[in-house]
Chains A and B, each alone.
Chain A
Amino acid sequence: MRGDRPLKKGEPARDKGIAPRADAPLPQTHVPTVVGLLSRWLGAPEPVLRLEIIRIAAPLATLGFMSSRLAHADEWLSDVGFQVPRMAIPDYRQPLYLSPLSPTAAWILAAVMVVSGLAVAAGFRARGAALVFAGTLLYVALADRLAAFTVSKLSPAVMLALAASPCGVRFGVDAWRRRRADPEAPLPAHVAAASPRFFQVLLPVFYSGGALAKARGDWLKNPILLFTHLHDSYQTALSWAVLHVMPGWAFTVIQAVVFTLECGAPVWFAWKRTRGVALVTAIAMHALIGLMFWPVRWFSLLMIALWCGAYAPEAWLERAAARSTRM
């Protein structure tokens, strides 16, 4: 090893360049602004699969949820079924009164919902179809408060976000047609991050807000809160078996895990080190919710789709996209 001696002033160095001036000015750099950081965060490339997973899975989960309603569209949206009368005074239970449709119009609306939802999942005119699908979802959520649940109210926002995104550029009917028209055209592997970021922010906002609602409710007071929800018509064979097998303290442990996950969601999912464990825990939580509260399975599937699209490891998504190119 050769010993380094300090260079004398002005002495040329054979392999080390010229000695820096003692009073050399610092290089000019721009101080990062919030707007600059934000626009870089929103404009950065993200794997195209983030959007494609949500585009394919979210409308299918939503249609699954709607299927029991769609099978009775006339009962649901027309005077054939029971309709809550118009309330005289503005009320949270009736944010906007929409008169019942005729039975024919109800069936047409149901058909438009199914076709547009399937078109989004198939990637056929995906963005336009997402807009139409969102329109039908908005209508039914407002028209019938009795059959509206979280999926009814969340899915229009998901579909509008997809309509505003470049979804469908990589997979689906439109991408296939573009490829057939120009086989040499490169397939986009990335999308601008703005759209995936919406889902990445939505989920921690949703869960941390939900955790605060739980804290204001009974979650910090009742140690067997989950146990109390396993007794009604939501009950499945699994939830009944769990009810029998699990001791009281096990319900408390699960309750603590769920609360910790939801309450800390912004941290768990922002921090790279905890993201993987948090993602697996969130998916497991929703899988169990679906299996133990069977009518809620579509909500679980929708949330799992959003979690996977928003937070699946980038390396997995890149690898999957590369594999799809080779196929």
Chain B
Amino acid sequence: MSRHHEDDGVARAWGGGVVTKALGVVAVVYLAGVWSEAVKSGTSARWLPAPVAYFTQVAALFPGAARVTLDYRVEGYRCRDKSWSEIDVRPYFPIDADNKENRFYRFFHFYHQADDEMMRALEAFVLHHHNADAIDAAAAGRGGEQVGGVRFVRLKLPIGAPGDGEPRYERKPLDAYPDEVRERIFATPKAQREERCAAIGH
């Protein structure tokens, strides 16, 4: 890296020449990428390598209106009474655990029902952590119940109109929401739930 040049009292990073021109070209390419990507999503990826184009996807912020408020939850399959009940996965996704920037929420922002491999990976992760915690809790005499499978649920909460006087946002238990706002995204198949329940000893 060159030293600062201050011949005329004006500090310069580079003495001019090839480096300055090359940096100028890089800057123009970057700015063109940012603008074209904002104007139409996917444009910069057509003429820039994907990892570079990725860094130009910065300017298209909040282009659409929210139709509903989204939230994502997990239910665990209780082998003993063959029922589903909510399990809290926030301890397994501790980064920004209480807002929609957490990685669990973001997973569903990017991946959908059709992304079966991804759903399976998340299922395995949640099951492993929940059941390991349950074993530890049982060993410590604090209860703890392993589950045979998981179900991912999307909550679609309606947005009112200005002046409706809605209550302040709070995270409520899944049971507090009516069925019509719950959408099941993924569930461990029945055969696998039964197999896992048998292994657990139920």
- Chain A residues engaging chain B, CB cutoff 8 angstroms: 42, 45, 48, 68-69, 71-72, 75-76, 81-82, 84-85, 90, 92-93, 95-96, 127-128, 131, 138, 141-142, 144-147, 149-150, 153-154, 156-157, 161, 163-166, 169-170, 186, 188-192, 194-195, 198, 201-202, 205-210, 212-214, 216-219, 221-222, 224-225, 227-229, 231-235, 237, 240, 243-244, 246-248, 251, 294-295
Contacts and interface: CB of A to CB of B under 8 A. Distances in A.
8 contacts: A75-B94, A82-B92, A92-B42, A164-B23, A191-B12, A195-B13, A209-B39, A232-B69
Interface string B144-178: 00000000000001010111011011010000000
Contacts of A71: 95
Interface of B: 1, 4-6, 9-14, 20, 23-24, 27, 30-31, 34-42, 45, 50-51, 53-67, 69-71, 92-96, 98-101, 103-104, 106-107, 110-111, 117-118, 121-122, 125, 157, 159, 161-163, 165-166, 168-169, 171
A166 B56 CA distance: 24
B55 A156 contact: yes
A213 B60 contact: yes
Contacts of A235: 168-169
Contacts of B41: 213
A145 B39 CA distance: 22
Contacts of B64: 217-218, 225
A67 B19 CA distance: 34
A216 B59 contact: no
A128 B2 CA distance: 11
Contacts of B10: 45, 188, 190-192
B197 to A, nearest CB: 24
Contacts of A92: 42, 45, 50
A179 B121 CA distance: 57
A210 B92 CA distance: 34
A247 B61 CA distance: 24
A209 B38 contact: yes
Nearest to A75: B94
Contact of A207 (B45, B59, B98): B59
Given A225-B64, A231-B157, 20 more contacts: A75-B94, A84-B121, A93-B110, A93-B111, A127-B1, A146-B110, A147-B106, A169-B11, A170-B11, A188-B11, A206-B34, A209-B39, A217-B64, A218-B65, A219-B63, A221-B65, A225-B62, A229-B66, A234-B100, A235-B168
